Amino acid sequence: MNSIALKMLVGDRAKYLGLIFAIAFSSMLMAHQVSIFTGIMRRTRSQVEAVRDAQVWVMDPRIEYFDENEPMSDRELTRVRGVPGVAWAVPMFKQAGRAKTQGVFHNVFLMGHDDATLVGAPRDLIVGKLSDLREPDSVIVDDIGYGMLWPGAAIEAGREFEMNDHRARVVGVVKGDPTFQTVPLVYTRYTNALRFIGNERNTMSFVLAKPDAGTTPEALARRIEGATGLQALTREEFGWKSIGYYLSHTGIPVNFGTTIAMAFIVGAVVAGQTFYLFTVENIRQFGALKAIGVANGRLVSMILLQGVVVGLLGFAMGAGLASTFFFATRNIPHLRGFFMPWQVLVGTGGAVLLIIVLASLLSIRRVLVLEPAVVFRG
């Protein structure tokens, strides 16, 4: 019976291909949009994950996500260092700035790291060494930002630009993690960052801390909050807090959710209608099988087999197209970091399975109420 079901399926080539393409389009669009959405959300916390040295982030209680800036007094660093369980704590500076190259101003994100330890500074350098940051006026720039500051120029150390009328000399270029806001990232020492931005009463953006051997990051974060009144989060907690902000305060989830829902609905409607018409056109064949004694359960399994075959082929084609897109764009700077996680494939596969079930229901009902005598009618 399975072979008969498959022959019926491929017998009408137009509807057979139409079903496959409908499922392929739906699965491709769902997999692509969900992957883009997860990639964007991952970018909102990429700079938090990039700091591998520290396990606890301490900040002003009003901060809701990484890109928000509420500077603290330097006195807070001493208070954090005095909390039991802190192995070490260092300051970190983060603020938007303006860089001037060849008479053109560019918005940048300036990151200042502890002068003594350089905790939180990038490690994956393409050009230069991290220790070069100890030189006067030295900065490290991410490779994507380097291309924005000097379009088309070869990546090399030694280039200079101005910030707040101060000279900044590039001593290294790092392969940066893509961020939510596509602007150059400039890394330097804490004291340099203050000079590049200008004097303000409060300058410290974060305190980066690490627990001692007998304390977990979660326990230390709660202890710091209780002792100082500041907000203290583990690296994982701060990353998810940043994602939560963009989920609840921007239209990104609604926009992507609408596209994904439309892809599912279109796939279900087109596949369901085409599959139903396919069943109606083959109703005499199903009637003949029913007339010779084939049970309803067997006929239902034949329809489900047809649906599964179409679903697998369409899903494979759609997922393949989505994967090809991410593979082909992997080296484009602004699309770096976008890929299709295995969870997206599993979720898309489940959605396709649901589409097939919904598309098969009308056909199954049509066959179940079918009278075998239909085969003898003109």
Which DSSP string do the residues of 249-269 spell out, in sequence order? HSSHHHHHHHHHHHHHHHHHH
Claim to verify: residue 159 and residue 255 sit in the same structural domain: no
Q: What is the pLDDT of residue 5?
A: 66
If asked whether residues 78 and 133 sit together in one domain, one would say yes
Q: Is the pLDDT of residue 375 over 70?
A: no
Element (H, E) at 231: strand 231-234
Residues 138 and 172 grouped into a single domain: yes
Task: Among 229, 264, 299, give the residue marking a domain's end.
Answer: 229
Between vectors from CA 62 to CA 178 and to CA 82, what angle results, nearest 5°? 95
pLDDT for position 181: 79
Range(s) of the domain holding residue 302: 2-44+251-376
With respect to residue 56, please indicate whether it lies within any of the assigned structural domains. no
Dump pLDDT digits (tens) for 189-217. 999 999 998 767 778 999 999 999 989 99
Instruction: Give yes or no for residue 373 having a pLDDT over 70.
Output: no
For residue range 265-309, list pLDDT tens digits in order.
888 888 888 777 777 777 777 777 777 777 777 777 888 888 888
Q: What angle do CA 365, 368, 372 make, to 5 degrees?
A: 135
358 and 279 in a single domain? The answer is yes
Tell me: the pLDDT tens digits for 86-102?
A: 999 999 999 988 999 98
C-alpha–C-alpha distance, residues 116 and 124, integer Å: 20
Q: Total structural domains in the chain? A: 2
The residue length of the chain stands at 378
Task: Tell whether 58 is covered by a domain.
Answer: no
Residue 151 burial (CB count, 10 A): 8
Sequence letter at residue 204: M
Q: Of 196, 229, 262, which one is at a domain's C-terminal end?
A: 229
Joined together, the tokens standing for residue 275 give 């599959």
Q: What pLDDT is attached to residue 370?
A: 66
Q: What is the pLDDT of residue 343?
A: 93
Q: Is residue 244, in this structure, part of any structural domain at all?
A: no
CA gap 78, 11 in Å, rounded = 78
Q: How far is the C-alpha of 307 from the C-alpha of 94, rounded, in Å?
A: 55
pLDDT at residue 357, as a whole number: 85
Q: Mention every residue, 6+ apart, whose C-beta is less than 8 A from residue 285.
A: 8
Distance CA 266, CA 274 (A): 12
210 and 90 together in one domain: yes
Residues 9 and 129 in one domain: no
**Spatial CA neighbour of 182 closest among 375, 34, 18, 46:** 46
In the DSSP assignment, the letter for residue 225 is: H
Residue 51 included in any domain: no
Q: Which distant-in-sequence residues (6+ apart) come within 8 Å of 302 by Cβ? A: 1, 2, 4, 5, 8
Q: Is the pLDDT assigned to residue 319 strictly greater than 90?
A: yes
In a domain, 245, yes or no: no
Q: Could you tell me if residue 236 is inside a domain?
A: no
Q: Give pTM, 2 decimals.
A: 0.84
Shared domain check, 184 and 279: no
Nearest to 187 by CA among 199, 170, 200, 212: 170
Per-residue pLDDT, 272: 80
Average pLDDT, the chain: 88
Structural domain includes residue 67: no
Confidence of residue 361 (pLDDT cuts 50, 70, 90): confident
Identity of the amino acid at 118: L
pLDDT range class, residue 377, cuts 50, 70, 90: low
Q: Is the same domain home to 93 and 220? A: yes
Q: What is the pLDDT of residue 13?
A: 77
Q: What is the pLDDT of residues 221-266, one digit of tens each?
A: 999 999 999 999 999 999 999 999 999 999 999 999 999 999 898 8
Least confident range from 75-79, 109-113, 334-338: namely 334-338
Q: How far apart are CA 207 and CA 231, in angstroms?
A: 10
Predicted pLDDT at 173: 95
The whole-number average pLDDT for the span 52-60 is 93
Same domain, 32 and 78: no
Q: Are residues 225 and 78 in the same domain?
A: yes
Cα 272 from Cα 91, distance rounded (Å): 60
Residue that is last in its domain, among 229, 261, 289: 229
Whole-number pLDDT of residue 224: 96
* Model pLDDT for residues 7-49, shown as the tens digit of each residue: 766 777 777 888 888 899 999 999 999 999 999 999 999 889 8
Instruction: For residues 154 and 192, state if they share a domain.
Output: yes
Higher pLDDT, 57 or 356: 57
The reply to whether 234 falls in a domain is no
Do residue 315 and residue 221 come from a single domain?
A: no
Closest CA to 318 of 37, 29, 35: 29
